Amino acid sequence: MTDPFDTPPSPAPPLVIVDGANVVGSRPDGWWKDRKGAAERLRDRLAGEGLPGHPGPVEIVLVVEGAARGVASVPGVRVESAPGSGDDHVVELAAASPDRPRLVVTADRELRRRVTELGARVAGPRTVLG
């Protein structure tokens, strides 16, 4: 995998924003039976593996919504419960950090369009799921 942050270094570590609902929903593994549990498993995977293929430190933010709200943060992964639309919250996070490398992990085409307009890079769910 090529480094999604192949950009000049920034004082802050790259920001990885994960669209939790989209990534969890990308695999038909029964996630719909326990949305919060599925989000917790994704959080734990991110905390354990970081961003596969990227050797340096990154800041990972997992955005959850709906029935997955209330998932706690753990060392290595900050979890944010979107107050409304998860997509809108992902865009807000990407817009809030224009001076650092940002990667949004989602397969949602409209969300990808919105964040690339802000200068963020995008990658699909396989980036974090393998």
117 CB burial (10 A radius; 0-12, 13-18, 19+): exposed
User: By the 8 A CB rule, do 91 and 117 touch?
Assistant: no
**pTM, 2 dp:** 0.91
Which of 57, 66, 53, 60 has its CA nearest to residue 22? 66
Span 38-81, pLDDT tens digits = 999 999 999 999 888 887 899 999 999 999 999 999 999 999 99
Is residue 92 within 8 Å of 108, Cβ to Cβ? no
d(CA 1, CA 89): 27
